[in-house]
Structure 1
Amino acid sequence: MPSRFNTAQRGFTLVELLVVIAIIGVMVGLLLPAVQAAREAARRMSCSNNLKQIALATHNYESTFQMIPAMTGTGTYSPQARILPFIEQAAMSDRINFSVPLLLPPLFQSLYNPAVRDLVSQPISTFQCPSEAGMAMFAITFAGGDTGQAAGNNYMFSNGSGTGTNYDDRFRTDGMVFENSWTRFRDVTDGTSNTVLLAETVLGDQVIGPSPSPMKPHRRAASWSSSSVAGVPGFVTGGSVISNPDLGALFQGGTFTSYRGTRGESWIRGVPFAIVVNGYLPPNSPIPDVTMHGRGFFAARSYHPGGAMHALVDASVRFVTDSNDLVVHRAIYSRNGGEVVQLP
């Protein structure tokens, strides 16, 4: 007859259980930053690939049309829209008649051309940074009462250094694009490996209204406008003309009249605050972007720690740090300034 044995099973004591939980917590605490860093590295690589693809598409466009895609006015199409066939979006491009304005008259009173209205709200992944933390779809309201949505854009063509009057792309600037430009790569006399073609920025927070107090965080691409800055250094003729202003003093002086968080609000529309960048401010500047009648000083900005991604004219992609020397930074945004500089 088999004998029976009673075996006692020993469990964890409360102290041992707490020690195990503490060890697991420490391990998670050590691993989580590494996981987050790995994810950000992957997002940064994807962002770099987007810029590379847009830069190569611009090269193909220039080879086909003997020019870099130009800005053609607020109511018309962006350079980003013009390179659609070269980023595997030929079907979308085929629906656009570039000879018909995107905004039908009267300008700013009505919404987009009905023939392409659905394209306006169509996100294009190549134009969106995976690290973007804002809302990629913008609610649009026109003066005439029409409303709609527009898909945002993180990647901006360079319209120049922003020095002098090079921020105003209604006229010829020292950048790669401006209104009715006919720029070619052969015009980049400063060297294609030393000149910015594109840079990333972050999307505006879609707040429109009076100047907030306290002012909004700068990394959300705060865009400001002012029509009453006469007497401020760098502003002349009642604020209608700007030349090398002290934007920091202007920002601190509280002369802004309105806040518009509309940076990057549309990839398809040729309005400057949605499609261009310049070098007047360093990447992720603590000074907000400043606009005057849609034109202004638009910095490269990103959610990548320490700087922002840039595509150079030779289609290489570089990470430009927040601490980049400002003289060098402005020089690399100029295509023909004659400066002898290069990125570190």
Structure 2
Amino acid sequence: MTTLCRRAFSLVELLVVIAILATLVALALSAVQRVRGAAAKTQCANRLRQIGLAHHHYHGAHGALPPGVTVGGPGEQFKYMTWQTRLLPFLEQEPVWKSAVEAFRLRPDDFRASPPHLIGVHMPAFVCPSDPLAQQPRTLSGTTFAYTSYLGVSGTRQTRHDGTLYADSKTRFADITDGTSQTVMVGERPPSTDGISGWWYAGQGQNEDGSADSVLSTGERASSFFFSGCSTAPSEFGPGRPDDQCAGLHFWSMHPGGAHFLLADGSVRFLPYTAKDVLPLLATRAGGETAELP
């Protein structure tokens, strides 16, 4: 009578199989993460394209692009309203726009009064899916604030106003003599770590001009308590970290290697951080510079 013997796995063989399975799982997870990251990056660019289309519709209706932030003078009804709030009717958000107008009518003296103001209302259209800092509203000192991943490009310095979106700006496409395909209008920058800057609805900014809040220059300087301890030298385009408050002074994103920018012609380009010397040339509307997009 023949006895059949079934050989069992040795401990070494079992460990090898486990190691192979672990490697395959790790590779699969890495692939899934890459696919998700690519999808989020694409959606981020698409939201910028929608913002670009809204800018063009706004220009068609009003003869100029929206102010980067409204400062105005005494009696200004929409004081510190951002360009994003003004785009609401052109992003299929007419009811939200009407609520904002009514809120500013009732409380023109304090946009932080919520209600009636919408300072804490989350607007996905203004948030990049890759940006965790802007995904949810945050409560600071009893007031809830909602954030944006996109800031208007005010120019090369916050006081020069040589870009397209800045305090009380009314830029026309005809004013962009550098060419709409050679001028950046909006760029990525996650909200500041402490949540003080990066509100989509309204905001004073560093110097009550929206600086580093709703608009940002390519050479922003720290000039208020918002960025206490940060260098007062001009900032430049480069990588940032979610835990670095000073990263709020320059354009950057959660995407590896660079950030998306909306050009005045409505197109979106992903600029690598190696383009830090080119970005200031693209930030002016009428600087007369010649710059080649990377």
Q: Give the TM interval when normalised to the shorter protein.
A: 0.7 to 0.9
Match of 1:133 in 2: 132
Structure having the larger proportion of residues in strand:
1
Query: Aligned partner of 1:314: which letter?
Result: D
**Higher helix share goes to which structure?**
2
Query: Matched residues in 2 for 1:274 and 1:123: separation?
Result: 16
- Residue 152 of structure 2 contacts residue 166 of structure 2 at CA under 8 Å; is this kept in 1? no
- Please state how far the C-alpha of 1:128 moved relative to its aligned partner: 0.8
Structure 2 residue aligned with 1:269: 202
User: Counterparts of 2:4 and 2:246 in 1: how far apart (Å)?
Assistant: 78
Query: Partners of 2:261 and 2:132 in 1: how far apart?
Result: 19
| CA distance in structure 1 between the aligned counterparts of 2:40 and 2:202, rounded to whole angstroms | 26
1:329, distance to aligned residue in structure 2 (A): 1.4
**Given the superposition, is the C-alpha separation of residues 103 and 196 from structure 1 closer, same or farther in structure 2, using an over 3 Å criterion?**
farther
Matched, 1:150 2:149: no
Pair 1:112–1:8, CA change in 2 (3 A):
same
Question: Within the alignment, does 1:283 sit opposite 2:237 as a pair?
Answer: yes
Give the deviation of 1:339 after TM superposition.
0.3
Shift of 1:102: 8.3
* Residue 116 of structure 2 is aligned to residue 115 of structure 1: yes
In the other structure, the counterpart of 2:279 is 329
Q: 2:97 is matched with which residue?
A: 93
- Judged with a 3 Å threshold, the aligned counterparts in structure 2 of structure 1 residues 102 and 16 are, in CA distance, closer, same or farther, namely farther
For 1:134 and 1:183, how far apart are their aligned partners in 2?
A: 30
Change (3 A) 1:305 1:140: same
Q: TM-score, normalised by structure 1?
A: 0.69
Matched residue, 1:308: 259
For 2:153 and 2:106, the matched residues in 1 are separated by: 22
Retained in 1: the 8 A contact 2:119–2:145? yes
- Superposition deviation, residue 13 in structure 1: 2.9
Measured after TM superposition, the shift of residue 137 of structure 1 is: 1.6
Q: Normalising to structure 2: TM-score of the pair? A: 0.80
CA distance in 2, matches of 1:184, 1:270: 23
Q: Which amino acid aligns with 1:27?
A: L
How far apart, in 2, do the equivalents of 1:269 and 1:102 lie? 15
> Structure 2 vs 1, CA of residues 286 and 134 (structure 1 numbering), >3 Å: closer, same or farther?
closer
Give the whole-Å Cα distance in 2 for the aligned partners of 1:276 and 1:299: 11
1:230-273 per-position Cα deviation (integer Å, ceiling 9, x unaligned): xxxxxxxxxxxxxxxxxxxxxxxxxxxxxxx5231x21004323
Offset of residue 40 of structure 1 = 1.1
Equivalent residue, structure 2, for 1:26: 23
> In the alignment, what sits opposite 1:38?
35
The equivalent of 1:78 in structure 2 is: 82
SS of match in other structure, 1:62: helix
* Identity fraction in percent: 34
RMSD: 2.8
Residue 266 of structure 2 aligns to a residue whose secondary structure is coil
Question: How has the CA–CA distance of structure 1 residues 131 and 330 changed in structure 2, closer, same or farther, with 3 Å as cutoff?
Answer: same
Q: Which is greater in Rg?
A: 1
**Contact 1:134–1:203 (CA under 8 A) maintained in structure 2:** yes
Cα displacement string for residues 17-61 of structure 1 (whole angstroms, at most 9, x for unaligned residues): 211101112223333333222211111101100111101101101
Distance 2:286 2:245 in 1: 24
